[in-house]
Amino acid sequence: MNSLRSITRKIDAMLLMIIAGLILSLAISYNYYQSRKTTIIENEELAANLLAYGLPGEAAQLLEENIRRQPLSDRSIKLRQSLVDIYMNEMNDYSKALSELVFLKTLNSPQVASSSEEKIRYCLNRLGRVYDAERSRMLADGINPLAGNVASNTVVRLGNHHAISVDQLRQQLNSMQIPEKSLTREVIDQTISAMTQELLLARAAEREEFKKDPEFIARVRKFENSLAISTYLNRQIFKDRKLDEKQQQELLAEEINRLAQAEAMQINRDVIDSAFPALASSTPNPSVPQPGN
């Protein structure tokens, strides 16, 4: 009986030793895989996958690790530029983006530094540091932000810089056709308020870099075309301001015909019918007269 108990105890002890050994080996294996550093290539591939699955924070951590390994290499410079885009566009972390951009600006590469400048102003603006953003823009334009230019005729100043002069205020009042004898302090204040509102909003829009947006550029060009056409008609065709609407339409039609003939304009109906088969198969409409006919 005692012999049986002794054998059982030995078996239990052996089992405990086996279990303890398994646990120890698992712990060693886990520690190895936790401590093993992934390669730079592996990190970049994993970061790309994390971004694809909407995990920009985790992707940024991997890129940051790669940068720490080789902070000044050409590869790290490119990673920093990618990191800036992640911070700005994916995480809205403009403080971290600004930190990376300032580092990039200090590099000797003019191309990298110039591309960083606009993003620096954008980050400053997003962080509410409007005055800093304006100073950065002035530096980029070769203007010393510390050198004030407030003149004796300055009505409104922004910081230590001239914004609206007395002459500009007078021009605005004249455009409103308000005689000087009818001016009151209330009218002056309202006019200045309207001018400052326009000025502040225009500067805010400029900081947002809207002027480089393709859609904005297309709309500006369309407006420019409309303004150019209106100016041409008023100066070249409708010189007589007493023309009624019918006379204007007649003069416009004559001018269109003249221009069409001068530029030998033709309308190819065959191409139109080929592009729109439904038109060719439908009941023919009266032909549209071409200019000059």
Distance CA 68, CA 80 (A): 11
pLDDT level of residue 37 (50, 70, 90 thresholds):
low
> What percentage of the chain reaches a pLDDT higher than 70?
76
**What does the pLDDT look like over 120-167, one tens digit per residue?**
877 877 776 766 767 666 666 676 666 666 677 788 877 666 678 888
Report DSSP letters for 90-158, one per residue. Answer: IS--HHHHHHHHHHHHTSS-HHHHHHHHHHHHHHHHHTT-HHHHHHHHHHHTT--TTS----TTEEEEE
Picking from 71, 77, 82, the residue whose alpha carbon sits closest to that of residue 48 is 82
What is residue 211's DSSP assignment? G
**What does the pLDDT look like over 228-284, one tens digit per residue?**
988 888 888 888 668 888 888 888 899 888 888 888 888 887 887 788 777 766 655
Domain ranges of the chain: 149-212, 215-281
pLDDT, average across residues 176-199:
83
Distance CA 291, CA 267 (A): 10
Token pair 């100073």 is at which residue?
135
Average pLDDT, the chain: 78
Other Cβ atoms less than 10 A from the Cβ of 91: the count is 15
- E strands, the chain, in order: 154-158, 161-165
CB 195 within 8 A of CB 168: yes
**Predicted model pTM:** 0.44
